[in-house]
């Protein structure tokens, strides 16, 4: 059996998340269905990150096993002909037997986009959180800097079983102003369900003056759960990193 790796991108608007679910359209479900039809054998796809409904990806990574000898460059072309317009393959390669898209990854990079224009934009509505207000990016960056490193991020999670390990390492965080909004980049070993959107929710409140700068760090110390979750359309999985 060959172990093949795909780097894919998708517009998450019409998907009920990445993970396969009965009766609804998901990235994993669509990709497995097309691969099974092309390869003529049941195909199970493993994803590096299980993005939620409405969340996008520019650099999601998946792997699957097949006995078929189809060249990777040909597979990319055939897949892109059959896949819908909101899901495409960027590249394909053969990897070692031990490679696992999820467990071999050393970090994931997510980007959250906030659009602060006065009026809604047709071109931004699917890919940004429309928040028509001024945000203090310096205060947001300071607050984010205080929660970098290894912490128990359970306060920034949803629907996580009590017995699950919720300690994660947030390697990098950057808040930067753009021409018409704010972008927030987060890189971590892995993310809990809802973690990025809950962190962004707190940062937005800091930037709006609704919370003090030390509120996110204090939340981790007191373990008080975050409740303000940013909407999904502003979130995008940018890259999954692996050791060479």
Catalytic residues: 52
Q: Six-digit token pair at 231?
A: 């909407």
Closest CA to 168 of 143, 199, 140, 141: 199
Phi-psi region of 181 (alpha: psi -120 to 50; beta: other; left: phi over 0): left
Q: What distance in Å separates the CA atoms of residue 116 and residue 138, rounded to the nearest whole number?
A: 16
Question: How many residues in the chain?
Answer: 244
Nearest alpha-carbon partner for 48 in 10, 12, 100: 100
Are 104 and 96 in contact, with CB atoms under 8 Å apart?
no
Q: Please give the Cα distance from 103 to 189 (Å, whole number).
A: 10
Alpha helices in 57-179 (DSSP H): 72-82, 137-145
Give the burial class of 114: count Cβ atoms within 10 A of its Cβ; 0-12 exposed, 13-18 middle, 19 or more buried.
Answer: buried
Contact 181, 117 (CB under 8 A): yes
């Amino acid at each position: 059996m060959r172990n093949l790796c795909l780097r894919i991108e998708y517009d998450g608007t019409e998907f009920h998340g990445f993970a396969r679910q009965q009766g609804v359209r998901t990235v994993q479900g669509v990709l497995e269905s097309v691969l099974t039809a092309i390869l003529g054998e049941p195909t199970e796809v493993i994803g590096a990150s299980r993005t939620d409904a409405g969340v996008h990806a520019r650099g999601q990574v998946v792997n699957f096993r097949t006995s078929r000898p189809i060249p990777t460059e040909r597979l990319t072309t055939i897949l892109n002909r059959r896949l819908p317009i909101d899901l495409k393959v960027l590249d394909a390669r053969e990897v070692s037997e031990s490679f696992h898209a999820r467990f071999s990854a050393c970090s994931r990079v997510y980007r959250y986009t906030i659009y602060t224009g006065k009026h809604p934009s047709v071109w931004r509505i699917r890919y940004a959180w429309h928040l028509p207000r001024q945000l203090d990016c310096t205060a947001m960056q300071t607050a984010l800097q205080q929660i970098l490193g290894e912490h128990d991020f359970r306060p920034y999670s949803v629907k996580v079983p009590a017995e699950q390990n919720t300690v994660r390492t947030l390697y990098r965080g950057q808040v930067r102003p753009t021409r018409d909004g704010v972008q927030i980049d987060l890189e971590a070993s892995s993310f809990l369900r809802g973690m990025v959107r809950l962190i962004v929710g707190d940062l937005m409140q800091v930037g709006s003056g609704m919370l003090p700068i030390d509120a996110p760090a204090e939340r981790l110390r007191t373990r008080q759960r975050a409740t303000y979750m940013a909407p999904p359309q502003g979130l995008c999985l940018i890259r999954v990193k692996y050791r060479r």
